[in-house]
Chains A and B, each alone.
Chain A
């Protein structure tokens, strides 16, 4: 760890996040993100073995809901939001290479 954030790493991350970035943006973001990570190097450098992680600030457990049907949304209302709909469904361009 502590390697300088590379342009390739940022391009890879943009792909994971499905964000188109121009070359100029890639350069700019690489610099800016590297600066933030450098600032975060103080955290990275801490020896925190034995310190447990806190994922939730409050100690709630077992929040459950009864298995009873409640009315949902009206289909017309739902599809009215859609950028493109067809036959009661959301229409999207062809899916060739996404995860299946």
Chain B
């Protein structure tokens, strides 16, 4: 959604990813979603008096993978206590990282070619979960709350971007790209719906050309990519309206109300956020060895940006092409590259793979490549090739495309038969033909459709159009 003329969105995102470890960050309780309340707890994650944290090695590994994938510097880091009171906080402080985080100064290259800076990606522990009871179930009219500490202590990496995002769509692309990275590295499930990936947006606006940052609002409760886009658009509009009206933006947290389609101010607290950070005395510094860091970097799988580049270069298209982005997004790039290696035309293979293989089906690379080659050689029309792929998928993926095509009676019409079919349709519609000859190109579509009908789909639409043009030119 475009902003009013002369206004610019400035947006940064804070994304919390739950790490896919077997145990919690500081204790050996299971890191498991969906267990009965308060069954994955121990003295440490309950914060019982006398308990002490011990850092999970695998959480460090996964945090470094995220940092490496975002091209961060991976540093010696320390832990700090972030002090505040809330019932889902067993210790009423959260162990996090403050001024010495593990990953800093990275960036994320997006499919559209833009780059968003990543300021830091640090390790911290998750809180428990509160359920508000009574009233409508929303916090504002609840009578009491019930707390489950299963999630307390689950490892998180918080990824903080720079204020580099300039549109809601770019925000969406950033989160989608980030998700594919954390999933590809095995670090996280990245499921916004399940809460293993949570996004908060810092939104501000300014007039184009103004070098200063406007006052921002932090928008929370974004449970899907769609909410993210809607919320950013709404909040930006809201802020512009306020500023245009001569008002000022208040630095505050706002909650996205999906049903109402708007953000609402949270209750303002007089003392704001004095977290009184200080170094966590129960933990010692984390200083991963150069060998460990190197092995993490070396073991990274090919990342989406690199995969898009490889696919695009191999096929000879631009890496910002929608089909390229989609192919990598759906993990079809390897498949397309394999088909190309088996001799298939790249551009056709890409299009067919992304558009014409049923989502819940699959086609073996060999059969796919053969089908694409038949189409590229003109032995099948596009429509026919799609049908053959559909048949292959229904049969479980294997098959002989030529045999299937023959069985379906598919042969691309020879030039003579095609010209005869075109001439027959022209003769049947003299008025439309005069129209077309007179310069109305739109009528061509009707002629193509008629030829398709009379040839039972065996005509190649491009060839029909070519013949029509030839006839018209000839007079």
Contacts and interface: CB of A to CB of B under 8 A. Distances in A.
Direct contact of A and B (CB under 8 A): yes
A1 interface: no
Interface string B359-385: 000000000000000000000000000
Q: Interface range on chain B: under 10, 10 to 19, 20 to 34, or 35 or more? A: 35 or more
A100 B269 CA distance: 11
Contacts of A96: 139-140, 267
A100 B145 contact: no
Contact of A65 (B28, B45, B267, B274): B28
B37 A99 contact: no
A96 to B, nearest CB: 7
A63 interface: yes
A62 B269 contact: no
A98 B86 CA distance: 6
B56 A65 contact: yes
B418 to A, nearest CB: 66
Contact of A89 (B85, B131, B283): B131
A98 B286 CA distance: 32
A95 interface: yes
A75 B35 CA distance: 12
A68 interface: yes
B146 A67 contact: no
Contacts of B139: 95-96, 100
Interface string B268-301: 0111011010010101111110000000000000
Interface in A50-71: 55-56, 60-70
B37 A93 contact: no
B439 to A, nearest CB: 66
A97 B57 CA distance: 37
A78 to B, nearest CB: 6
B115 interface: no
B269 A67 contact: no
Instruction: Please report whether the interface of chain B is mostly helix, strand, loop or mixed according to DSSP.
Output: loop
B28 A68 contact: yes
Nearest to B28: A70
Contacts of A15: 270-271
Contacts of B43: 73
Contacts of B84: 99
B28 A91 contact: no
Contacts of A2: none
The residue in A64, A67, A88 that gathers the most chain B C-beta atoms within 10 A of its C-beta is A67
Interface in B11-29: 21-23, 27-29
A41 interface: no
Interface in A9-39: 12, 15-16, 18
Instruction: Please report whether the interface of chain A is mostly helix, strand, loop or mixed according to DSSP.
Output: loop
A94 interface: yes
Nearest to B139: A95
Nearest to B43: A73
Contacts of A18: 85
B60 interface: yes
Contacts of A91: 144-147
Contacts of B28: 65, 68-70, 72
The residue in B55, B144, B279, B288 that gathers the most chain A C-beta atoms within 10 A of its C-beta is B144
Contact of B287 (A62, A70, A88): A62
Contacts of B27: 72
Given A61-B284, A65-B28, A16 B41 contact: no
A56 B284 contact: yes
B42 A98 contact: no
B183 interface: no
16 contacts: A16-B274, A55-B78, A64-B57, A66-B57, A68-B22, A68-B23, A69-B23, A69-B30, A70-B23, A73-B46, A89-B131, A91-B146, A93-B144, A95-B142, A96-B140, A99-B85
Given A73-B41, A73-B46, 19 more contacts: A15-B271, A56-B279, A64-B60, A66-B58, A67-B23, A68-B28, A69-B23, A69-B30, A70-B23, A70-B29, A72-B28, A73-B43, A87-B37, A92-B144, A94-B142, A94-B144, A95-B87, A96-B267, A100-B266
Interface of A: 12, 15-16, 18, 55-56, 60-70, 72-73, 75, 78-79, 86-100
